A and B are shown apart, each in its own frame.
Chain A
């Protein structure tokens, strides 16, 4: 009897290890961002709508903000566009778009055709700023606190469910100091 007990215990242990691995597989395929809890990376980028008003990291502070990295070449971005429009309609958190490795004409045509959910769009033509943000595939969405800290990152298309369960609760937990005041850009 004792002869079988040890191998059996080893087998059960192995089973448990493999099961835990299987169950955790989906969350493991998404890489955690080292940026969480850190201030947003410094950057200054051209503004898609108003070339005289560049978008800088400083200008993100003062209220909750959703930073959405997208591109017209990105299929998933088209899929999440409706949700972004809904978030804009909701009016709680403004969205800053970072147009990643894209052409300005394409981006403008896209926004005219599908509607514009963004308060401002910064254009990152050569992808340098995206690297500083640790972006490795569009779309990616970052939640930025009023203090300018990266609070949460979602990789892949934004969905209503993700917005309601991951983003809004974090905003509700610590509302902006000055609600109602939004940045000067449009």
Chain B
């Protein structure tokens, strides 16, 4: 199976969870085990465009318990004999192999996943800056010879790209180092917040320069954040920025 596989290098690995739970889009070839007309295939595909129940397949890397996943859309593309080509946009953690199997069951003839290509993983798509392993090997060697940083920029993107779909909160320089030490995010340090932050959601905390500091879990929504004067806004989940990047400005407790 081929397609978009975002790879995080070194310290950016700390934000990989933002990608794991992000939505995915695939193009899939499903092989039917019997002859079915185009109309019923289309009809059944459309039925799966919904919240679905899925039990992870035998060979899976997660606990095999029934869970729900949202299929945002299924677009029928083509049918050729027993091969059905479709595009599916779904929540992270949806098994397409299982989806094909289930579609086959509903159609009554059985089916399996023949081929799969991931065309999108969160903010990454196959059409934008998607590179092959050969390119990585070639450009890396070229960089080692010429030491031109522009060569690295051809295939490596800043980790903030991976956070493009996560709602963001921008903070003051003076709040940065405390966050790097794992402190909660408090209202006075906040300069701006993106719309669509809901209570309990994952947010990315950035500096005014746009550098990622940490991933956090919010305790309140965007509207509440903008009106809050004091108190905790979010608790940190993962810190990426090393301590000392920005100066420490807080006073520590009582003088001894």
A-B interaction? no
